[in-house]
Amino acid sequence: MNVTSILRAVRRLPISGKVGLVLVLFWIAIAAIGPFIAPYPPGSFANEEVFAGSSGQFWLGSDFLGRDVLSRLLSGARFTVGLSAVAVTIAVCIGTGFALMAAVGPRWVDELLSRAMDTLISIPSKIFALVLVAAFGSSLVLLTLIIAITYVPGNFRIARSLAVGLVRLDYVEVARARGEGRLHLALVEVLPNMIKPLFADIGLRFVFIVLLLSGLSFLGLGLQPPDADLGSLVRENTSGLAEGALAIIAPAVAIASLTVGVNLLIDAATQGKAR
């Protein structure tokens, strides 16, 4: 993959895909440089007025404590983007890894993993996360791990059903008859053929993680102050909803644009290849 081929791929994307790409790149950029271009430290009580509207000094107004919404948004984006991306990656690696093991491995491995995953998935995710956070605390690393673990079983379920379907197909049987090892079967024969539907799943799962973060902040868990992810920004400013404060609209729009962007891009990219 060189630069020109990437550019060609981008040019072939439908409009929706290009919009998605722009949104995703925008949020990655914000996540990277946001804290450096924020006009105020995220915790500083810059404005005496709470839920102030937009002004030259405070582009997105002030929040429920009189802090600068723009600064908090710029600083918060990296948590939502980074944490969700890392958590989804971990979840998918473990989930899909297990799924491949279950598909190509001996029967008992499949049974064991399936039972273990059923166990995890049947406990409602928010309550599961609540118990883990209460038991282990909520540092950034722990929070990422807890969220990742919460979403492993969902990915496993989908990946396993894809992989089991593929393993039964003729070309895999042929490879097996050729005497290829299980690792080869999993990584060379099966995995490449399930990438596309897997990506669609990753997109949705990314959204769920962003939402779980905000749901956790609703239950009083989540990141340590004064840091806040986008969902927490929405949550902590809900009292401004009735007056239509920018402090709640801005982070809500941010979440929507990020998650919609990711999914538009993934949809377009995976469909693009199909045609």
Residue 192 makes contact with another protein by CB under 8 A: no
Residue 195 makes contact with another protein by CB under 8 A: no
* 68 DSSP β-pair partners: 62
Span near another protein by CB under 8 A; candidates 74-82, 92-100, 183-191, 233-241: 233-241
In sequence order, the 6+-apart residues with CB closer than 8 A to the CB of 134 are none
* Measured distance CA(129)–CA(132) in Å, rounded: 5
Task: Return the residue of 8, 32, 33, 119 that touches another protein, per CB under 8 A.
Answer: 119
Span near another protein by CB under 8 A; candidates 31-39, 80-88, 176-184, 222-230: 222-230
C-alpha R_g of the chain: 22
Q: Do residues 263 and 17 touch, judged by C-beta distance below 8 A?
A: no
Span near another protein by CB under 8 A; candidates 28-36, 78-86, 140-148, 252-260: 252-260
In the chain, % helix, strand, coil (3-state, to 5) comes to 75, 0, 25
Q: Do residues 90 and 247 touch, judged by C-beta distance below 8 A?
A: no
Task: Return the residue of 1, 3, 177, 242 that touches another protein, per CB under 8 A.
Answer: 242
Task: Return the residue of 65, 109, 145, 149 that touches another protein, per CB under 8 A.
Answer: 65
Q: How many CB atoms lie within 10 A of CB 5?
A: 9
User: What would the x/- binding string for another protein be over residues 148 to 187, using CB under 8 A?
Assistant: ------x------xx-xx--x-------------------
Interface positions, 15-34, toward another protein (CB under 8 A): 16
